[in-house]
Structure 1
Amino acid sequence: MTMRTFRSYDPDELWLLPPSPRDWLPEDHLAYFLADVVEELNLQPILATYGGVTRGTAPYHPQLLVKVLLYAYAVGIPASRQIARKLEEDVAFRVLAANQRPDFRTLSDFRMQHLPALADLFVQVLQLCQRAGMVKLGHIALDGTKVKANASKHKAMSYGRMVTEEARLQAEVAALLKQAEAADARDDAAYGPDRRGDELPAELARREQRLETIQAAKAVL
């Protein structure tokens, strides 16, 4: 009987050249769009809080953290522990973070420390998406086609409508940030402030010991 031939598969194979993160996602992916939008925003209110010369370990760049958090909230991932896991496992998150991996506490602390500025940036992102005619941003409904059509027809939205729409977006952003706060509080209560909750037991964390444990378990089956 002829053996079936498969494509080469070696999980431990080393790559001669590191791949560019830009090759990991299609060009029209939401992560790239959101990254481009954030790069056009003024992050000075956040940057100004960092002071001068860094002593000790340099912090993660605020632009990285803003991109990651806003993308996570837009696609329905409010919990910092889930976001940290995505930074290890999800291509879009890894692209946004340039393969850096801030932990869940860093993400949570950043959100809490810069909550007003982050909320304002999120509203700006949604407004820009509306003006671009987008119907939604991830899971967030925008109805941008009507906004764009109205702006084209009347050159500018009426002041009253602008205020109403901005208030709606602010309320939506506030609700999303509240979800994030509640999710982190729930996870802190469940796992403690310093644990992510999905850690392997110590005896399974190292591959050599893990294989021994698996083989021993298999032997008694």
Structure 2
Amino acid sequence: MGYIQGEGRQQSSLFPPTLDELVPEDHLVRVIEAYVARLDPQVLGFSKAQPQRTGRPAYDPADLLKLYLYGYFQRIRSSRRLEAECQRNVEVMWPLGRLAPDFKTIADFRKDNGAAFQATCRAFVQFCRQVG
């Protein structure tokens, strides 16, 4: 009698799962996604809510907000740990569309948008209470 064997790492599959198939319908990241989709980052006061015409494109504030909300629910406060989660955790890859901002970008977003971020977090708690 042998052990249960996993798939080989190089094994191709006819139907590889999409990110959407890997995240359950009732998962927290889907709630975060629905909440952030309702928001207007510019109205809330997030910096860089309007893309600049010159230079390298910035990350969408909505994507970084999703990352921070997920991190707070998972008790991940460190920008370096959030960066690592972006690279290895399907639960983070799904709402960010596989974006992987570096720790400095993540930390600067929080530092530059403190007041808007706190207001958004308060509103998120109220949203969760309303939804149940």
TM range (shorter): 0.7 to 0.9
Choose 1 or 2 for highest CA Rg: 1
Structure-2 residue corresponding to 1:29: 27
Letter in 2 for 1:124: A
% identical aligned pairs: 27
- In the alignment, the residues of structure 2 paired with residue 117 and residue 88 of structure 1 have an alpha-carbon distance, to the nearest angstrom, of 27
Show CA shifts across 1:93-151 (max 9, x none): 11121111111111001111111111111111111111223xxxxxxxxxxxxxxxxxx
Deviation digits for residues 69-105 of structure 1 (CA, Å, limit 9, x no counterpart): 1111122111111111111122211112111111111
Tell me the equivalent position of 2:83: 84
Amino acid paired to 2:20: R
Deviations 1:150-201 (A, max 9, x none): xxxxxxxxxxxxxxxxxxxxxxxxxxxxxxxxxxxxxxxxxxxxxxxxxxxx
SS of residue matched to 1:100: coil
1-structure distance, mates of 2:40, 2:76? 24
- The aligned counterpart of 2:58 is 59
**Aligned-pair CA distance for 1:51:** 5.2
Higher relative contact order (CA 8 A, sep 6+): 2
Shift of 1:40: 0.7
Runs of 4+ in 1 over 4 A off after TM superposition: 5-8, 14-18, 47-51
Aligned-CA RMSD value: 2.2
Structure 1 segments unaligned to the other structure (5+ residues): 134-221
TM-score w.r.t. length of structure 1: 0.53
**TM-score, normalisation: structure 2:** 0.85
Structure 2 residue ranges without an equivalent (≥5): none
